[in-house]
Amino acid sequence: MAANSAPPVAPLTDGHGRRITYLRLSVTDRCDLRCRYCMAEEMQFLPRSAVLSIEEMGALAERFVARGVRRIRLTGGEPLVRRGIDLLAARLGALIGRGLDELTLTTNGMRLAEHAPMLAEAGVRRINVSLDTLAPDAFRHITRIGELATALRGIAAARAAGLAVKINMVALAGLNEDQLLPMLDWCAANGCDLTLIETMPLGEVADDRSDHYIPLHHFIAPLRADRAIFPVDRRTGGPARYFGIEDSPVTLGLITPLSDNFCATCNRIRLTVEGRIYMCLGQDDHVDLRAALREGDDVDGLIDAALAGKPRAHDFQIERKSTPAVARHMSATGG
């Protein structure tokens, strides 16, 4: 080794031997919607003094890339409501080709029309947009305050800016079961792919989630009755399994945290806006990187401690009148 060369940095590996190559970075717990399966109508968000600065997020993300993270997804809450998101996207986009393979983002689309050109300029090439229905009244009911037309304008702006768009649709019994085939046809017409997601028991919400939980194999039954679907060899770094659809250009992803646990191949770690790493989405154990970063302590040691304590799997269950798996909402952890 040359006298001035830096020692090699150990790659991120958890206690079960899984390599961690994917960071989901929450830039805010705030959101401009209040989706019924995700949030309470009246939310208490973190004080601004409790959250990482844009500079701190950038420094920690760079550290993760140095340790072998190849993909970063910006999440929230709604990441596009965070002041300085353009600066963070540009800083992380500059890492693409220098350790980072890809920078992506998940958004509800409400501010996408404004920010799509910025994302493309920063190096983002694909995004996920949460869209559970194409029926305006149902969209307003599910989100409480959202306008479907705004989301659709955002998606059109993203496509015009050259971004690939994947629609994330949460399967909700009694709310959007009739929307799967229309959504598939809309995605085909608008150049989008589609991923279906089972609802997850995180945080207290007004509705009983068991009223709206539906396993994806039931949700897609109308599709199977109408068209053949078949597995395809596609990987995007996340937990989805992908399928092709007869006579359709749409690639269909399925994320099944309840009906078909996918934890065996987990390659992800989540960094919250508070600077915490939760060892698992469904558990409360965590380490605090914010304090270590601000006090000059051993950030790498804490990251390794978090990975050593990462459980093999979550234990999500949805039963009538059951309490959530954890008290914190998904927006507090990052989607």
Express each pLDDT in 246-263 by its tens digit. Answer: 999 999 999 986 555 555
**Residue 206 pLDDT:** 46
Q: Is the pLDDT of residue 7 over 50?
A: no
CA angle 239, 71, 168 (to 5 degrees): 45
CA distances to 34, 103, 162, 197, 219 from 148, rounded to whole Å, are 14, 26, 22, 19, 22
Task: Please compute the mean of the pLDDT values over residues 281-299 and round it to a whole number.
Answer: 86
Confidence of residue 16 (pLDDT cuts 50, 70, 90): confident
Q: Is the pLDDT of residue 34 over 70?
A: yes
CA distances to 20, 202, 253, 321 from 316, rounded to whole Å, are 22, 9, 20, 14
State the Cα–Cα distance between residues 222 and 211, nearest whole angstrom: 20
Confidence of residue 323 (pLDDT cuts 50, 70, 90): low
State the Cα–Cα distance between residues 103 and 22, nearest whole angstrom: 10
Confidence of residue 168 (pLDDT cuts 50, 70, 90): very high
Q: Are 310 and 14 contacting, i.e. CB atoms less than 8 angstroms apart?
A: yes
- Element (DSSP H or E) covering residue 241: strand 241-245
Q: Which residues are annotated as a binding site for GTP?
A: 24, 73, 106, 166, 268-270
* Per-residue DSSP letter, 175: T
Choose the most confident range, by mean pLDDT, from 205-209, 230-234, 282-286.
Answer: 230-234
Q: Are 278 and 305 contacting, i.e. CB atoms less than 8 angstroms apart?
A: no
Average pLDDT across the chain, whole number: 87
CA distances to 67, 110, 185, 233 from 182, rounded to whole Å, are 43, 21, 5, 25
Q: Is the pLDDT of residue 325 over 80?
A: no
Lowest mean pLDDT across 181-190, 209-218, 268-277: 209-218
Q: Is the pLDDT of residue 200 over 60?
A: yes
Cβ-Cβ contacts under 8 Å for 116 (sequence gap 6 or more): 154, 157, 158, 160, 161, 163
Task: Please compute the mean of the pLDDT values over residues 237-254 and round it to a whole number.
Answer: 92
For the chain, state the CA radius of gyration.
20
**Residue 26 pLDDT:** 95
Q: Which of 77, 86, 96 is nearest to 24 (CA)?
A: 77
Amino acid sitting at position 58: G
Q: Which position has the higher pLDDT, 33 or 40?
A: 33
Q: At what angle do helices 112-122 and 85-93 cross, to 10 degrees?
A: 30
Confidence of residue 155 (pLDDT cuts 50, 70, 90): very high
Within its chain, how far is the Cα of 22 from the centroid? 11
State the Cα–Cα distance between residues 293 and 288, nearest whole angstrom: 9
* Per-residue DSSP letter, 265: G
Domains identified in the chain and CATH numbers: 22-333 (3.20.20.70)
Q: Which residues are annotated as a binding site for [4Fe-4S] cluster?
A: 31, 35, 38, 263, 266, 280
Q: At what angle do helices 54-66 and 85-93 cross, to 10 degrees?
A: 20
Task: Please compute the mean of the pLDDT values over residues 24-38 and round it to a whole number.
Answer: 92
Q: Which of 174, 173, 166, 181 is nearest to 134 (CA)?
A: 181
Concatenating the DSSP letter of every residue in 11-39 gives PPB-TTS-B--EEEEE--S--S---TTT-
Reading the block at residue 216, the tokens are 């994806």
Confidence of residue 212 (pLDDT cuts 50, 70, 90): confident
Task: Please compute the mean of the pLDDT values over residues 156-164 and round it to a whole number.
Answer: 98
Q: Which residues are annotated as a binding site?
A: 24, 31, 35, 37-38, 73, 77, 106, 130, 166, 200, 263, 266, 268-270, 280
Cβ-Cβ contacts under 8 Å for 135 (sequence gap 6 or more): 148, 176, 179
pTM surpassing 0.85?
Answer: yes
Express each pLDDT in 82-132 by its tens digit. Answer: 999 999 999 999 999 999 999 999 999 999 999 999 999 999 999 999 999
Q: Which residues are annotated as a binding site for S-adenosyl-L-methionine?
A: 37, 77, 130, 200
